[in-house]
Amino acid sequence: MLYVLEDTINGILMGSIYGLTAMGLTIIFGVLKVINFAHGSLLMVGMYVSYWAIRLTGVHPYVALILVIPIMFIFGYSLQKIIIRPIFIAEKNVREPVTVIIVTTGIWYILDNLTLLLFGPQYRSLGNNPLQGKMLELGEMFISMPKLYGFVTALVTAAAVHWFMHKTVMGRAIRATSMDREAASLMGIDQYKIYNVAFGIGAATTGIAAVTLIPFYNVFPTVGVLFDIKGFIIVVLGGLGSITGALVGGVIIGLIESVGPQFMTATWTEAIVYGLFLVVLFVKPSGLFGQKHDW
């Protein structure tokens, strides 16, 4: 029973990090109304930025957020403005431009292969870092400190994004655009600038997730693929466009992956995850926290 409790706690902690990795995906969908297939590649870029920022400066992994967040925001903002924005302008009468999905798929392949060309296929890790192998002892239970840090970071990030969306002028403009881009434009909101900012915020959030992963996860060019699939499952479970749903969906996946192997093989736990994904699609396609409007 103690092992189940320990796995439950660690599953919640890891699940919150899963939710954090999916948060950027749900932010971008909530505003742009398109699925960003390059989301995993953005996470990979964020992990490489985090890795080199920590290795070159020698700072604590979480101090690297000072560099990672603005770099990833600028990267996402520029990606949207230079590559994706022209498509939205060309298909301005289409609510969900399919061409954007195709383009983000191309960005995925370009980023992964460009990273492979620049850094090679080697798996990289921080090696000695302040969080490596650290465990919190609670009686006879051992809780991973890197995952505990990630859990706290996920909650703080979700709260910060929620506050930004509801309490700031830019946040309200983003919400208005996500609900009705034409009405927002009539009110004087530059919807294309809002898209750039939203994509930048999504990328910055992904950078935060990268920092939570880097203390205990290897970095390599295709690392994003591992989290890409989970990200899509999580946002479907929680509800596309829902910040709370992203965290809850991540925790559900984390619990299944952590507690499941106590009672069955790992293969079955994966089957349960995909089975739950299909059930939600059939029973409640909008997800657990899905609403008529995305915010």
In Å, how far are 21, 47, 82, 142, 193 from 243, measured between CA atoms?
A: 11, 22, 27, 29, 22
pLDDT reported for residue 295: 41
Give pLDDT tens digits for 20-51: 999 999 988 878 777 788 999 999 999 999 99
Nearest to 53 by CA among 41, 40, 65: 65
The amino acid at residue 214 is I
Residue 147 near residue 17 (C-beta atoms within 8 A): yes
| DSSP letters spanning 236-284 | HHH-TT-HHHHHHHHHHHHHHHHHGGGTS-HHHHHHHHHHHHHHHHHH-
pLDDT score of 58: 86
Read off the pLDDT band of 95 (50, 70, 90): low
Specify the range with the lowest mean pLDDT, choosing from 2-16, 71-85, 174-188.
Answer: 174-188
Q: 141 - beta bridge partners?
A: 138
User: From CA 251, how far away is CA 228, in angstroms rounded?
Assistant: 16
E strands, 145-266, in order = none
Q: Give the residue-averaged pLDDT of 130-154.
A: 85
